[in-house]
Amino acid sequence: MSKSQKKKSDLDDLALELTPEPGEAAENSRVEPEFSVPEGDEHTDQDPDLGLEIPDAGARKVTPDDDGVIAAEVEDVVISAADDDVVVGAGNSGNTDFATPTSDRPVPRISIEAFCLRPDTGVTLQRAAVDRRLSRTHTSVHMGGIPTAVEHFSDTSTPNLLIVETMGDFNEISDGLNSLAQVCDPGTKVVVIGQLNDISVYRELIRQGISEYLVAPLTVPQIIDSISGLFVDPDQPAIGRTIVFTGAKGGAGSSTVAHNASWFIAETMLEDVTLVDLDLPFGTAGLDFNHDPAQGVADALTAPERLDDQLLERLLVKCSERLSLFTAPGTLDRDFDLATDSFDRVLDVVRESVPCIAVDLPHIWEPWTRRILLTADEIVITATPDLASLRNTKNLVDLLKQSRKNDHPPRLVLNQVGVPKRPEIPIKDFAEAVSLEPELVMPFDPNLFGVAANNGQMIAELKPEAKVAHGLKGLASTLVGKEAIDVKRSFLKKFADQLMGRE
């Protein structure tokens, strides 16, 4: 075995295999450490010697509220309707700016290597690595500090981002960085994790050329924000949030929930929405909204490199002022064997054009469906109260909770409840089995849903006073964190609706 091979083998033995326990709580606090200012060193917003903008740690500090809650998010509440036919999830995060901020953009495809001294730092970095915002990166976490990193990269190229941890004083950190500089490739960004909580240390390390200095212990959001700040352009506009609707089994009604929720978001929350139907051979978005476009999402997926804002505008169907459809062809005249990257590219372009994207995901299990699920901002699972749905829902929930530790759990919708003469799993038992309370319970009503589907209408257009319509509105409100806005229709709008048979 050569020296370089032995060195690599020894390093691989040090690689962390520290997977957190399933029941272990994820890091949620976004409080960042404050730098202490040495006596006599006045803290200014700009270093007069370097012309360097210094982050004001005090301005970034998050103050807990009276209940000790740092994230200002209202807990979801489930309210029962008067006749118990419909259960509405009335949780509301109070978020009035629905689009995803620039800091929440996915980090581009980069390589990241981290060398840690403390096991808890390694665990936190591994938790951050599986977050959906870092899903496109290739991240490796090793035990060992700066000396181990210097030895490793003495005969191999350095990654796009190198994270090193040190527990020494300033002189030790500086000497270690000088050694690291001898093996680092041009363009590699370096983040140092240290113990010294001192603004003068931060300034001097930045002056020496590192990209960021973080004070341990770290949190998952802090790591993600730091990496995003280095590789995501802050001048780019906010991107749309993705809500993925999927069914626990075929025929569960996920498409119906997706289409009606999208309509409510557009018409009552006044958010611009693009509904993307990815069930290419059997999609029903065009049918449910009474449109039959010649082109749609399949044309974009077969040539994703050609998709831009102008082509997207031609492929979308304008269903209303705020709702656009990216429809599936719904034909069997061609086969679709598409790469996962094609779906990434198309959805990225859509996200840059609208604040909300509703994805109607088919009930199939492919690499691209898994990826879309794991990288979504919100996930809605529609299930029916039977054994197959229970098994599949539990499998999905377990996968998502394990893979998305830093995100909200999926939302559960129970559909077709109360089918005559059909044995059903009680709602309470279903919820306990999947460890998830339903946001919405929809009764079995074949007449209402059948007429709406045949007419190409949404439930609220056909029967706005129906309890299931109010339930779907509540679900939409929960997903976007906004209350419905009561907009009175004009006389001409009412007259047009009457002519079209919508009233």
Neighbours of 95 (CB within 10 A): 14
DSSP 8-state symbol, 198: B
Q: Which domains can be identified in the chain, with CATH numbers? A: 26-72+107-231 (3.40.50.2300), 241-499 (3.40.50.300)
- The tokens of 432 are what? 């306990």
- Tell me, what's the pLDDT at 53? 35
Is the CB of residue 118 less than 8 Å from the CB of residue 472? no
Q: What is the C-alpha separation between 125 and 167, in angstroms, rounded?
A: 17
Q: What is the C-alpha separation between 454 and 449, in angstroms, rounded?
A: 9
Cα 365–Cα 366–Cα 369 angle in degrees, nearest 5: 80
Contacts of 334 (CB under 8 A, 6+ apart): none
For the chain (503 residues), the mean pLDDT of every run of 10, in chain order, is 45 39 38 42 38 34 36 33 42 44 71 93 90 86 92 90 92 90 90 91 90 91 89 73 95 96 94 95 94 91 92 93 94 88 93 93 95 94 97 96 89 96 95 96 95 94 94 94 67 54 51
- Tell me, what's the pLDDT at 34? 45
- Tell me, what's the pLDDT at 421? 92
Is the CB of residue 313 less than 8 Å from the CB of residue 265? no
- The tokens of 469 are what? 């319509």
What are φ and ψ of residue 155, in 5° steps? -130, 20
* Nearest by Cα to 277 from 252, 258, 305, 260: 258
* Nearest by Cα to 141 from 121, 157, 156: 121
Q: Which residues pair with 277 in a beta bridge?
A: 360
Orientation angle between helical segments 220-231 and 119-129, nearest 10 degrees: 60
- Tell me, what's the pLDDT at 255? 96
Contacts of 290 (CB under 8 A, 6+ apart): 455, 456, 457
CA distances for 105 relative to 132, 159, 368, angstroms? 10, 21, 19
Is the CB of residue 193 less than 8 Å from the CB of residue 121? yes
Is the CB of residue 323 less than 8 Å from the CB of residue 461? no
* Run of H or E residues at 412: strand 411-417
Is the CB of residue 410 less than 8 Å from the CB of residue 374? no
Is the CB of residue 177 less than 8 Å from the CB of residue 184? no
* Nearest by Cα to 373 from 362, 384, 383: 362
- The tokens of 374 are what? 């794991």
- The tokens of 140 are what? 């490796």
- Tell me, what's the pLDDT at 156? 87
Contacts of 111 (CB under 8 A, 6+ apart): 137, 138, 139, 159, 160, 161
The amino acid at 449: F
The distance between the two most distant Cα atoms of the chain, rounded to a whole number of Å, is: 84
Contacts of 170 (CB under 8 A, 6+ apart): 196, 201, 204
- Tell me, what's the pLDDT at 405? 84
CA 199 centroid distance within chain = 34
The amino acid at 29: S
State pTM to two decimals.
Answer: 0.67
State whether residue 80 is helix, strand or coil.
Answer: strand
Q: What is the C-alpha separation between 438 and 212, in angstroms, rounded?
A: 43
Q: What secondary structure does DSSP assign to 103-140, as a single string?
A: GGSPP-S-EEEEEESSHHHHHHHHHHHTSGGGTTSEEE
- Tell me, what's the pLDDT at 80? 34
Cα 224–Cα 14–Cα 6 angle in degrees, nearest 5: 125
